[in-house]
Structure 1
Amino acid sequence: MELTDKQREFYEYLRRCRQDDGNLPSLRRAAGELGVSHTAVAQLLAQLEKKGMVRREGRYSRTIRLLPGAAVRSSGSAGREVPVLGRITAGLPMSAQQEWDGSVVVDGDLFGGDELFCLRVSGASMRDAGILDGDLVICEPRHYAEQGEIVVALIHHEEATVKRFFRRADTIELRPENPDYPAQHYGLAEVLVQGRVVGVVRGMHPIFSRAG
């Protein structure tokens, strides 16, 4: 999808508003915060709607929906929208959450592959790998891991964590990247790999890492 710079900036503004307070702004609020006319905002919305990026319910309705799965292309860079699926821990394991929690737009040239997803990190155990509390990790789905890769792992079918993966003779080691946290060891049947971490988003800016 080709967007002009103004259209992309406006789309990113709408996305930030949704992330910050869970709601999209009224036309009046958007015009005031962006320093443009009410008419300019309406025109931008109409353009984004025509390109399949948003949907309005009624011509003058305040209800605006960002359409999940919309791809963005601007200034020669191919973008893709990646869903955020709940939260994951980089400390002790926590109960897995699979609810949809918005999305982020990342550079499709850097983050390829099918069915990418994001998880928000809670905790500091992967600090030395550049994964901080509050970051989003970008993951590619996978049910296996190579030695030393950073993965999303499901423990006992219900607790999720992000760690480096090492397979031993009869155990799985999930190793943190912070000396304040101990490595965790589980039986082979107790750990299910859900995906490999391929990047990090911090402050809505992707950090390309291909971790692992």
Structure 2
Amino acid sequence: MELTEKQKYFFEYLTERIAEDGRAPSLRQAALDMGVSHTAVAQLMTQLERKGMIEREGHYGRTIRLFSKSRRHQQSGRGRELPIIGQVTAGLPMYAQQEWEGAVVVDDSLFAGENLFCLRIRGESMRDAGILNGDLVVCEPRQYAENGEIVAVLITGEEATVKRFFLYSDHIELHPANKDFQVICYPFSEVLVQGKVTGVIRGKNSEFDGGGE
């Protein structure tokens, strides 16, 4: 995967700072040097790690290994097995089994990240985001979401659905990507984010618009 201009600039910045100081700058220092927010630096760090450009020791560690483009090409193309966990109804929430119903082998260069898992979709409520009935969505485990991101959430602790997430001062809204379905509102206590959807496994012509980055 090629780097964006922002990612290239940040990678060059890291290379220079590590060469000068012997270690990576803190997120706070990097934000000051680059004139961006702490959150923006954290996102760039995660993006570079996903693309195989850097490797961190611990999520907040300042020990970072930098990899060349040639090293990334050598590492590409390896397979990895992702568990398929239950089924998710896209449209109406259903009970999410916390058991594997199988596994799928994917190209490691296409799906980076730790502890990824897959959920199978039933329904058409996310059709306009390129998530169709029968698809497998690849999820990065996390318990938070940014507004507009597509996430897998548990409803009332036992039911799951895939929707766009929006947080408001007094409630959470889960938005479908199909005009035939309605926005659903929930109190904070009834929604538990399980992971961000980072990709879809279907056919070679699949498209996906997950928001966020």
User: Common fold, TM-score beyond 0.5?
Assistant: yes
Q: Deviations over 1:26-81 (max 9, x none)?
A: xxxxxxxxxxxxxxxxxxxxxxxxxxxxxxxxxxxxxxxxxxxxxxxx99612211
Cα pair 1:138 1:199 within 8 Å, conserved:
yes
Unpaired segments of 5 or more residues in structure 1? 1-73
**8 Å contact kept, 1:197–1:210:** no
Q: Based on CA coordinates, which of the two structures has the bigger radius of gyration?
A: 1
Structure 2 unaligned spans of 5+:
1-73
Equivalent-residue separation in structure 2 for 1:138 and 1:148 (angstroms): 17
**2:194: which partner in 1?**
194
Q: Could you report, residue by residue, the CA deviation over 1:4-33 in whole angstroms, capped at 9, with x for unpaired residues?
A: xxxxxxxxxxxxxxxxxxxxxxxxxxxxxx
Determine if the alignment matches structure 1 residue 110 to structure 2 residue 74.
Answer: no
Give, in angstroms, the shift of residue 208 of structure 1: 7.1
Q: Give a deviation string over 1:136-191, Cα, whole Å, max 9, x none.
A: 00001000000100000001001100000000111000000000000000001110
Counterparts of 1:110 and 1:136, CA distance in 2: 15
- With over 3 angstroms needed to count, the CA separation of the structure-2 counterparts of 1:159 and 1:79, relative to structure 1, is same
Query: Partners of 2:200 and 2:205 in 1: how far apart?
Result: 6
Alpha-carbon distance between aligned partners in 1 of 2:172 and 2:90, rounded to the nearest angstrom: 17
- Partner residue of 1:211? 210
Q: How many residue pairs end up in the alignment?
A: 138
The TM-score, its normalising length taken from structure 1, stands at 0.61
| Within-5 A mapping of 1:131-142 | 131-142=131-142
Per-residue CA shift, 1:103-146, capped at 9, x if unaligned? 11112112111000001000000000000000000001000000
* C-alpha separation in 2, matches of 1:159 and 1:76: 36
Whole-Å Cα distance in 2 between the matches of residues 98 and 211 of structure 1? 24
Q: Which residue of 1 aligns with 2:123?
A: 123
Identity %: 61
Match of 1:91 in 2: 91
Return the offset for 1:206.
9.3
User: Are residue 179 (structure 1) and residue 179 (structure 2) matched?
Assistant: yes
SS of 1:77's equivalent in the other structure is: coil
